[in-house]
Structure 1
Amino acid sequence: MPDDFHQNVIKEFRANRGKVGGPFEGARLLLLTTTGARSGARHTTPVGYLPDDDGRVLVIASAAGAPRHPAWYHNLVAHPRVTVENGTFTYDAEAVVLRGDERERAFARAVESDDGWAEYQARTTRVIPVVSLLAIEDGPPNVSGETTFGGVLTRIHDGLRREIALIRAEVEASGASLGAQLRINCLALCAGLRNHHTGEDQGMFPMIAQQYPETAPVMARLAEEHKKIDALLAELRRTVSEPAADARATLADVDRLAAELEAHLAYEEAQLIPLFDR
């Protein structure tokens, strides 16, 4: 695609916290920044992604079925340390090109979730690469473009809202049963949301309660809501882990989780953002 098109997508992505319109509307998209294989200059490209196990994400070097690999692929082969922006966090990651059976399984999951990947492969004689991006732990998370506690909280919450909306749309469009990739998407949401709440329970909430004793009832309510949400996450994990996971049952679980989560996020924002602003 022309560079000016990419630049417009990048601007829209950053301005709207990961949401874009046009051909990428409703798609899973991230910004991948690589180091030029020859120039050493930094290049940012919007690419589609798939969640994977262990917190990894996968990107596919399809170039829409072009005869050559995209430039960003050659860059990360030469310089595997890359930067990822997902609309909420910006982080460094290690890029690993999948090989053999691991690549075949990952690409098969991608095709099962969207047959456009198969169409791209059919257009070219090259084997389209699948690349794993694993975050490099290096200090606290960098919440993209935010400098205040209230801004950080809102951006993280909006990322959770966006992810659960994506999964709901994917489940609704899946037919009677869930494919392997959609199961991974659901399990990745469960893991991410539980990690976020664990961090709040063990870090932010005790700190606020200690500094502002008058917030003890609020902190107690938020902690109790975390338990309710954790129970809904456990139910969703059970549903999608069934050998023949039913899409209708999964959609019902996602809807219950979405309703409980939105009420929780709205209450947390209403209580904590004014406190942070003080």
Structure 2
Amino acid sequence: MRRRLIGMLRPFVQWLSATDAFARIAPGIVPRMDRAAHRLTRGRVVLSDQMLPTLILTTTGSKSGEPRVAPVSCLPEEDGGFLLVGSNFGRPNHPAWSGNLIATPEATVSFRGQVSPVTGRLLTGDERADAWARLVGAWPVYDRYTERAADRELRVFRLSPRL
């Protein structure tokens, strides 16, 4: 029943996510709600994960050196890795987590109750194009974010499990 309801709501949420109003309001609300739910459930729940896969990414701040925590939509891969888009809701600047990941690729993810060390890598060329097609197939709103962030190319990362 729950999956059916989510399936019915998905087109509406995609439409809403593509609006300019959502891009203005969501960055101040959605990450805070996701972090709070994650903290209150001891890592078992991230609210956005109900609509599209979302992980909690912990990077090292490129300036501060301190841990930085950000909920990020993702596309899980078969090898235990993830694809991420630095969309920042289509806003003009890259999200801070993406700069942190470039500066220090070692990070940690919490995904559906599992915490894992990962290494991030910025994708380019054909590898980025292939990943982008998969990401847009999973969440078409990324194309709208690309239009909105016309002055920058959205960064695409692959997070690979560290052994």
TM range (shorter): 0.7 to 0.9
1:54 alignment partner, SS class: coil
Q: State yes or no: 1:136 paired with 2:162.
A: yes
Counterpart of 2:119? 94
Task: Give the AA of the match of 1:34.
Answer: T
Distance 1:8 1:128, change over 3 A: same
Quick check: 2:85–2:157 contact (8 Å CA) kept in 1? Answer: yes
Distance in 2 of aligned mates of 1:33 and 1:7: 15
2:54 & 2:44 partners in 1: Cα distance? 7
Task: For 1:124 and 1:26, locate their aligned partners in 2 and report how far apart those are by CA, in whole Å.
Answer: 23
Deviations along 1:130-181, one digit per CA (max 9) or x if unpaired, are 10111111xxxxxxxxxxxxxxxxxxxxxxxxxxxxxxxxxxxxxxxxxxxx
Report the equivalent of 1:106: 131
CA drift at 1:51: 1.6
Local SS of the residue matching 2:35: helix
Cα 1:18–1:121, aligned 2, differ >3 Å: closer, same or farther?
Answer: farther
Residue in 2 aligned with 1:42? 67
CA distance in 1, matches of 2:142, 2:31: 20
- Aligned residue identity for 1:129: R
Q: Offset at 1:78? A: 0.5
- Residue 12 of structure 1 corresponds to 37
Q: Relative contact order: is structure 1 or structure 2 higher (C-alpha 8 Å, sep ≥ 6)?
A: 2
Superposition TM-score, scaled by structure 2 size:
0.75
TM-align CA RMSD: 1.8
Hey, which of these two has a bigger chunk of strand by percent? 2
The reply on whether 1:65 has 2:90 as its aligned counterpart is yes
The alignment status of 1:27 with 2:52, answered yes or no, reads: yes
Higher helix share: 1
Number of matched pairs: 135
Larger-Rg structure: 1
Could you tell me which residue of structure 1 aligns to residue 101 of structure 2?
A: 76
Question: Secondary structure at 2:79's aligned position in 1?
Answer: helix
C-alpha change, 1:128 and 1:31, in structure 2 (3 Å) is same
**1:121 CA drift (Å):** 0.7
Specify every segment of 5 or more residues in structure 2 that has no aligned partner in the other structure, as ranges.
1-26
Percent identity between matched residues is 33
Q: Which moved more, 1:11-20 or 1:63-72?
A: 11-20
Consecutive unaligned residues in structure 1, runs of 5 or more: 138-278
What pairs with 1:255-266 in structure 2 (closer than 5 Å)? none
> Alpha carbons of 1:114 and 1:6: their partners in 2 closer, same or farther (altered >3 Å)?
closer
Q: CA deviation at 1:46?
A: 0.4
Task: Give the corresponding residue for 2:76.
Answer: 51
Which residue identity is paired with 1:122?
E
For residues 26 and 19 of structure 1, the distance between their equivalents in structure 2, rounded to whole angstroms, comes to: 12
Mean Cα deviation higher: 99-108 or 46-55? 46-55
Cα distance in 1 for partners of 2:134, 2:33 equals: 30
